[in-house]
């Protein structure tokens, strides 16, 4: 669309007029009501500024053009022997000379001086900043309005008889602002303040029914309250925080990372193995895993040297190569077989990984199965085929390497995770002690 038509302005090179027209139209076009119209208006404004700047540059380059002089009358007597008279030469020279101001230091008429161009650029930048500030203010106002409407609807639902109807809470996650960080954080705090007094189903002083598990699970999935114990501890009182921990611990069967991990220090049975569940885990780095791989390969070779080599020498007396050579060839297949069996087993690690206190888990931090172990082995084989490129990429993946991502597994550093949890518990205990004091 023509930018001049959208701005309702005649074509001009005046940046101030364009700015005034844009500001006038901006009052009628709000980004939250008509985002496409606002984008089109902004593009028309930028396009109009470009056209105005180009028109000003054209006017600067083109000076006033003089009319061509009339050809002087020729005198037959002055052209004798093919030679022009001095008067004729003078007239021709005068006719060919440029008309107008010939001073090179004086700009032609209609051109902008350096100060005027600088002022025009400053006006353009000021208009852009003003438009950007107006757009941000409009977005903030729309976000605040949507937040207030959502909180009012949630408050009405909490105080009404349908508080525990899971479907009636769906409007919280259907808001177009739910992915906005500021909106999400402020809405999360507002909802916590509403539901925190309705967490204990056995509280005799409660005037209303407690929040159901379905509603609490839905809100936890949206705002990830179980992942923010420290932030909630600062926001809530000690009693409210304990009630929230107790309620969320009941929801440990949901497929979330930390929904059932509030009971710090306890152990949960995962496929017959007692595994500590922590609020946070530390992924093993690439280099410690590299040394674990090297140690595992060495252990496989030593195992083959003490088992396969003597047996091959005793049984296969006529071999084309030494048994040690075949043992070296069997190291890689032997490692893949060992990794598949042991990482899927109760140890959840190869011997070297277990020695370095590393564990293999799925995305729920549970033991992987045999089929999942096959997928992890194939993903590791693909990573090895990438060779140097794969190792170069893994340097920047911060512990979650290529085959981990492909097989959807984690390699956690259990030792560091327990140390971090111990330090965090000590820090939280000290903060709680000082708060009580």
Report residue 385: phi and psi, to 5°: -65, -25
Q: What is the pTM of this model?
A: 0.40
Q: How far apart are CA 368 and CA 273, in angstroms?
A: 12
Q: Is the dihedral of CA 368, 370, 397, 415 positive or negative?
A: positive
Supply 215's token pair. 């509603």
Q: How far apart are CA 220 and CA 434, in angstroms?
A: 29
Supply the DSSP string of 116-130, one letter for each residue. HHHHHHHHHHHHHHH
Distant-in-sequence contacts of 26-30, Cβ < 8 A, 24+ apart: 26/131, 26/134, 30/138, 30/142
Burial 199-218 (b: 16+ CB within 10 A, else e): bbeeeeeeeeebbebebbbb
Cα 300–Cα 303–Cα 305 angle in degrees, nearest 5: 110
Strand 358-362 and strand 267-270: the pairing is unpaired
Supply 372's token pair. 């999942």
Supply 245's token pair. 């921990």
Q: How far apart are CA 196 and CA 199, in angstroms?
A: 6
pLDDT in tens, the chain (437 residues): 678 888 888 888 888 888 888 888 877 776 666 777 777 887 888 888 888 887 777 666 555 444 444 444 444 343 334 444 444 444 444 444 444 444 444 445 445 577 767 777 787 888 888 888 888 888 888 889 999 999 999 888 888 888 888 888 888 888 888 888 888 889 988 888 888 777 654 454 445 557 788 888 888 888 888 777 777 877 888 778 777 877 776 664 433 333 333 333 333 333 333 346 666 778 898 899 999 999 999 999 999 988 888 888 877 766 667 878 888 889 999 999 999 999 998 889 999 999 999 999 988 788 898 999 999 999 999 988 988 898 889 888 888 899 999 999 999 988 888 888 778 778 777 776 776 66
Q: How far apart are CA 411 and CA 349, in angstroms?
A: 9
């Amino acid at each position: 669309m023509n930018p001049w038509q959208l701005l309702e302005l005649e074509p001009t090179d005046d940046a101030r007029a364009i700015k005034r027209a844009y500001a006038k139209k901006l009052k009628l076009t709000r980004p939250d009501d008509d985002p496409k119209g606002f984008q089109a208006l902004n593009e028309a404004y930028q396009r109009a500024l470009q056209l105005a700047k180009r028109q000003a540059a054209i006017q600067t380059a083109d000076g006033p053009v003089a009319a061509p002089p009339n050809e002087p009358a020729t005198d037959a007597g002055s052209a004798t022997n093919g030679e022009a008279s001095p008067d004729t030469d003078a007239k021709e020279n005068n006719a060919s000379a440029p008309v107008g101001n010939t001073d090179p230091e004086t700009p032609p008429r209609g051109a902008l001086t350096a100060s005027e161009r600088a002022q025009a650029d400053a006006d353009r930048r000021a208009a852009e900043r003003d438009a950007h500030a107006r757009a941000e203010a409009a977005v903030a106002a729309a976000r605040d309005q949507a937040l207030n409407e959502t909180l009012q609807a949630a408050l009405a639902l909490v105080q009404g008889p349908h508080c525990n109807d899971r479907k009636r809470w769906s409007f919280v996650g259907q808001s177009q602002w739910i992915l906005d960080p500021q909106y999400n954080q402020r809405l999360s705090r507002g909802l916590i303040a509403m539901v925190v007094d309705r967490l204990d189903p056995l509280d005799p002083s409660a005037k209303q029914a407690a929040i159901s598990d379905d509603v609490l699970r839905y809100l936890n999935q949206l705002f990830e309250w179980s992942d923010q114990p420290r932030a909630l501890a600062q926001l809530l009182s000690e009693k409210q925080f304990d009630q929230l921990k107790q309620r969320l611990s009941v929801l440990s069967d949901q497929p979330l990372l930390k929904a059932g991990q509030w009971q710090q220090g306890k152990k949960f049975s995962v496929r017959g193995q007692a595994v500590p569940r922590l609020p946070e885990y530390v992924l093993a780095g690439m280099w410690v895993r590299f040394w674990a791989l090297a140690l595992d390969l060495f252990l496989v070779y030593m195992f083959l040297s003490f088992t396969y080599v003597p047996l091959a020498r005793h049984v296969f007396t006529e071999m084309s190569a030494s048994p040690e050579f075949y043992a070296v060839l069997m190291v890689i297949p032997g490692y893949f077989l060992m990794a598949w069996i042991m990482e899927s087993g109760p140890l959840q690690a190869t011997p070297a990984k277990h020695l370095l206190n590393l564990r293999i888990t799925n995305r729920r931090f549970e033991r992987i199965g045999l089929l999942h172990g096959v997928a992890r082995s194939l993903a590791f084989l693909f990573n090895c085929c990438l060779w140097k490129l794969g190792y170069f990429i893994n340097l920047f993946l911060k512990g979650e390497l290529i085959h981990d991502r492909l097989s959807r597994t984690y390699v956690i550093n259990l030792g560091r995770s327990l140390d971090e949890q111990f330090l965090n518990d000590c820090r939280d205990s000290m903060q709680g002690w000082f708060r009580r004091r």
